[in-house]
Structure 1
Amino acid sequence: AAGASDVVLYKIDVPANRYDLLCLEGLVRGLQTAAVRPYAVAAVLRNITFTQERYDSFIELQEKLHQNICRKRSLVAIGTHDLNTISGPFTYTAKPPGDIHFKPLNQSKEYTATQLMSLYKTDSHLRHYLHIIEDKPAYPIIYDSNGIVLSMPPIINGDHSKITLKTNNVFVECTATDLTKAKIVLDMIVTMFSEYCSQPFTTHYTQITSKSHLAYRKEKLSCKFVNNKVGINESTEKIAQLLTRMCLRSRATGVGDEIEVEIPPTRSDVIHACDIMEDAAMAFGFNNITRTTPQTYTIANQFPLNKLTELLRHDLAAAGFTEALNFALCSQEDIADKLGKKISETRAIHISNPKTAEFQVARTTLLPGLLKTIAANRKMPLPLKLFEISDVVLKDDTKDVGARNSRHICAVYYNKSPGFEVIHGLLDRTMQLLAVKPTRGEGYHIQAADDSTFFPGRCAEIFVHGKSVGHLGVLHPQVINNFELTMPCAALEMDLEPFL
């Protein structure tokens, strides 16, 4: 196109376990592996030169690590400081919040830790981390030899030691609940930015940093192992070259088809020989692997519950109902208050750290999702006929995880009149498809029931082979009002698993 930019843009997919590719420096290093030979690393970056771009990348990597491997600072918290403004040795201890006084980053006066908790409750960034230590009797704190506070992890650094573009010696500290993760994070930061030191790819050890950090290790595996697992037929030298391209310096030892692989500290994801084999496959190119027929002969069958679900979807659509797909997570109100029930009666699984109020629990019923779908489509022509066949999640002490999934079918009819006969007809059609006869005992039947979600006297319980599997009826006016609807609505919901 005329006048288009000549700049070439690349989109790079970064695997979840490749923390060394979270910044531009790591990506460039991955593309120029052969030119990179780190010598030593530590927790102090000496004589480093920051430009605005380097500084921004340095801060951005810390934020990405905090959200990624650090699990929003709950596992690891990173602190970076201007080493010229502080003096060792450094003390990592814990004190009652009222005994901690310091001027936090970008503030003009000193606060106690208790005051900081109140101050940051309205901070859009830091308020998300307060819960990590807020209820603890003592807060972690790091001092230098003069009693200057470096940081109160995992919340905030001290203003005294903040780094700037003029900082030339950076002290990096990581506090954690998981030592392995702490080492990985520290290794990742110093390996990515040691190239900007006056002596590139070198750093300085400190007394508080274990020399087990940044350890290189060597693994050995056979060329035959790689070829067999990947499905290729390459020489030992070729496999070694492929692995070297993946930041794993490798060589043929000369002992048979043995390959020695050096694993740098930037590759914390390499745990087993299978991880090395996987890297060889990626370097070779998955599209370059010749397709072959497996030597084992098996016949796959569709999971019975999924097969039943797919068959029902087609027939319910043929009956004039439109399928909806909703989130498996919802608010407590959706499955309890809005349906006229108590949350304690729902057997709901609660999310310990919900991102929003809309995703507090796993749904125990499909009905709220369909009612919210109707509320969002009130301008569509009436009647609105929707259905969903999906899993709900229920507490179950007999399961090793304390919960189980259950496949439910739910349908709603929204119109100027309740349309109970429409929903009842859909139930009969569904049972006909499932080859269940309308008889007591060996078939199915419905009988009057009381349920706070439904209008009194307009609710029925569904029994199959003498076992209750669900309800149908006209929704209670208050339930309809709770979902911001204005017209009558009939609904059906039942468990599909008893039919298998």
Structure 2
Amino acid sequence: MPVVNIKVERLKRLVPGVKVNKVLNAMPFVALDIEGIDNNIIRVEYNPNRPDFSSDYGIVRALRGLLGIETGAPKFKLAGKSGLEIEVDQAVKRIRPYVAGLVARNGKLNDETIKQLISMQEDLHNGLGRRRKKASIGIHNLDGIKFPVTYKTVSGDYTFEPLGESSNQSIDRILKESETGKQYGRILKGLGRYPVIVDSAGATISFPPIINGNVTKVDKNCRNLFVEVTATDQKAAEDALAIIAVTLYDAGFEIRTVTIDSGKKVETPHMKPKVISADIGYVNSILGMAFDAKQAIDYLKKSRLDAKASGKKIICTVPRYRIDINHPIDIAEEVAIGYGIFNLEPTFPASPTAGQKNLLSTYFCAIREALTGLGMIEALSFSLTSREVQYNAFGITGKDALAVDGSKSLEHEILRDSLIPALLQSLSRNVHEEYPQRLFEIGKTFHTNGALTERWNVVGVITHVHARYTEIRSVMQALIKSCFGRDAITKAAQNTMFMEGRSAEIVIDGMLMGTIGEVTPLALENFKLRMPVAAFEIDLSHIIKDK
């Protein structure tokens, strides 16, 4: 869990007129945990679903509401357009296609504020940014930049002076020798061209997602800042920038938009609040309370939201930085927080009842136990994936793929119709680990054969220097026998994921239930796997239904 360090003296200044103990006692009721207090520094742990808590400004913003010091949506106003522009070269579209930015002017920095900004930046990198792969942030001294700036790609021999260095270094050298290059270079591995942001004077501002240029180094003498976010996911970029914008506003800066020119000109950041309505009866049913609309609105304002009544509904205006609020259930939670979770009284149910495990869960537990006993480790992957992983790596067209309409992320374009690619991707991330490696997963796949269907599949993969068809077949047959008391037979058949002559269909009680085989050399090469891989995949739908 991420942690923010807050100096006691700074907390007193940000929450004036309230005793420190009272502020500390309020923290758990906005989902904050106090890890400890050492040398007048409070270590506060927060849930990753609240990235706006990644700085002391965000934490204080929530506490001021709960303590009744300042209620309703926090004051925030864009000061207008900066007149500055980021020009986007089309070459970045296939590497890191999205960029957003803002300008923060006429503020004052001190050492502690800079520490808070750096801590916020890294927490956003690790959370929203998925360790910089999905999004990364650069904070720069605006006064050292000649606009317009250009977001483009360069070759590995391109040189610039990276942050903290005194001489130019090539991108190849930075990736191989610098600490951040070693840590995050995997994101750009194998691309050949690399993203950079350069100004109109030719100075390199940033090499995302690795390191900033030294020319825009931030120190406590800076009064004007330029913030850029590059990403593979547009929403992640916009969410991160919104949180940074409101934080810098709270720190005393005026925030102005930056024009992004990628063929179509847009202004960022987008700070328009979203509106969510919730029925007061629904809120009360969730909380077990009997609030009227006025009470609920007062409690929402203590949670730093704006709200009004419309008949039996509450119309809630959610500030742009509150990316965790998306549904009426979230509104109910905010009402509870504003009311004071400490005021909610637990009650015993009218009659004692006992739950029962879902039938599917019973089968899945048996499958997990069997495969774990066979020396395999369970993996979990997302249902949304990319065409590159699901199809292109195997030389498959995937013309019938279930595509996401208007996907903003290259990694989440389609719904998977097989679990095998996801496990091969997991193996590719663990090529430096000890062999043999044995993984399995139980998950949903999605198919369209006239009508959309969802199926539960189980997949197993084995990789080591001698991984073969016979080994994976024995694992599969042992699984079916131990969990379902049936015999699984294999019939030779060709499958595009497997080598010709080394693949088969899995047949149980005369029905085709899955596929098995040795993964093709093409797929091994595309996933950068160093050892042979054997795999099976079984559709559990019919076998569980028959049981």
Scaled by the length of structure 2, the TM-score of the pair is 0.55
| Aligned equivalent of 1:25 | 57
Go from structure 1 to structure 2 and tell me whether the alpha carbon gap of 1:46 and 1:147 turns closer, same or farther (over 3 Å shift).
Answer: same
Once residues 436 and 257 of structure 2 are traced to their aligned partners in structure 1, the CA distance between those partners, rounded to angstroms, is 47
In the alignment, is residue 241 of structure 1 matched against residue 315 of structure 2?
no
Residues 100-133 of structure 1 deviation map (CA, whole Å, 9 limit, x = unaligned) = 332111222223xxx3223432434332322323
Structure 1, 270-279 or 101-110: larger mean CA deviation: 270-279
Give the 3 Å change call, closer, same or farther, for CA 404–293 of structure 1 in structure 2.
Answer: same
Answer with 1 or 2: which has the greater Rg: 1
**Mapped pair 1:123 → 2:178:** yes
Aligned to 1:271: 326
Answer yes or no: is the 8 Å Cα contact 1:105–1:156 preserved in 2: yes
Q: How many residues align?
A: 369
Matched, 1:350 2:424: yes
Residues 82 and 170 in structure 1, CA contact (< 8 A), matched pair in contact too: yes
Match of 2:273 among 216, 224, 242: 216
Aligned AA (2:103): V
Q: Which residue of 1 aligns with 2:288?
A: 231
Q: 2:378 aligns with which of 303, 313, 328?
A: 328
Matched, 1:59 2:113: no
> Contact 1:351–1:362 (CA<8 Å) still a contact in 2?
no
Aligned to 1:39: 76
Deviates more, 1:116-125 or 1:278-287: 278-287
Stretches of structure 2 that go unaligned for 5 or more consecutive residues are 1-19, 25-32, 36-43, 80-101, 261-265, 381-419, 461-477, 488-507, 511-542
Aligned residue in 1 for 2:383: none
Instruction: Work out which of the residue numbers 34, 49, 54 in structure 2 matches 1:10.
Output: 34
Q: Give the equivalent residue in structure 1 for 2:207.
A: 152
Look up the equivalent residue of 1:328 and give its one-letter code. Answer: E
Instruction: Specify the alignment match of 2:400 in structure 1.
Output: none
CA displacement 1:429-474 (0-9 Å, x = unmatched): xx9x9999xxxxxx99xxxxxxxxxxxxxxxxxxx999xxxxxxxx
Alignment of 1:67-146 (within 5 A): 67-98=126-157, 100-111=158-169, 115-146=170-201
SS in 2 for 1:69: coil
Instruction: Report deviation, 1:224.
Output: 2.0
Which letter does structure 1 place at the counterpart of 2:344?
N
Query: How has the CA–CA distance of structure 1 residues 289 and 107 changed in structure 2, closer, same or farther, with 3 Å as cutoff?
Result: same
CA distance in 2, matches of 1:305, 1:271: 29
Structure 1 residue 169 displacement after superposition: 0.9
Contact 1:363–1:393 under 8 Å retained in 2: no
SS in 2 for 1:10: strand
Whole-Å separation in 2 of the counterparts to 1:86 and 1:128: 27
Q: What is the CA-CA distance between 1:324 and the residue it aligns to? A: 12
The partner residue of 2:344 within 288, 303, 322 is 288
Given that residues 393 and 403 in structure 1 are in contact (C-alpha distance below 8 angstroms), is that contact kept between their aligned partners in structure 2?
yes
Query: Which residue in the other structure is 2:535 paired with?
Result: none
CA contact (8 A) 1:329 1:359 kept: no
SS for the counterpart of 1:363 is: strand
Q: 1:27 to 1:326 in 2, by over 3 A?
A: farther
Deviations 1:59-97 (A, max 9, x none): 111111111111121221211111111122222222334
Shift of 1:225: 2.7
Residue number in structure 1 paired with 2:256: 204
Q: What CA deviation, in whole Å up to 9, does each residue of 1:254-283 have, x standing for no partner?
A: x43332322111102222333222322444
Q: Using the TM superposition, name which of 126-135 and 22-31 deviates more.
A: 126-135
Q: Is the 8 A contact 2:52 2:322 kept in 1?
A: yes
Q: Is residue 76–residue 176 contact of structure 1 (8 Å, CA) maintained in 2?
A: yes
Q: What is the DSSP-based 3-state SS (H/G/I as helix, E as strand, rest coil) of the residue aligned with 1:55?
A: helix
SS of the equivalent of 2:176 reads helix
In the alignment, residue 48 of structure 2 is paired with which amino acid? A
Report if the CA contact (8 A) 1:44-1:205 is conserved.
Answer: yes
Amino acid paired to 1:105: L
User: More strand per residue: 1 or 2?
Assistant: 2
**Sequence identity (%):** 23
Equivalent of residue 182 in structure 1, options 237, 242, 266 = 237
Structure 1 unaligned blocks of 5 or more: 1-5, 314-322, 331-346, 365-390, 408-426, 437-442, 445-463, 467-496
Q: Distance in 2 between matches of 1:304 and 1:402?
A: 12
Q: Does structure 1 conserve the Cα–Cα contact (< 8 Å) formed by 2:135 and 2:231?
A: yes
| Structure 2 Cα separation of the partners of residues 326 and 133 of structure 1 | 31
Q: Which amino acid aligns with 1:350?
A: L
The one-letter code sitting in structure 2 at the alignment partner of 1:206 is V
Match for 1:300 among 339, 356, 360? 356
Look up the equivalent residue of 1:203 and give its one-letter code: I
1:363 paired to 2:438: yes
Cα pair distance change 1:78/1:360, threshold 3 Å = farther
Measured in 1, the distance between the counterparts of 2:155 and 2:364 equals 59
* Residues 444 and 454 in structure 2, CA contact (< 8 A), matched pair in contact too: no
Match of 1:171 in 2: 226
SS at match of 2:216: coil
8 Å CA contact 2:180–2:211 kept in 1: the answer is no
SS at structure 2 position matched to 1:62 = helix
Partner in structure 1 of residue 394 of structure 2: none
Q: Look up the equivalent residue of 1:87 and give its one-letter code.
A: K
Question: What is the RMSD computed on CA atoms of the aligned residues?
Answer: 5.0
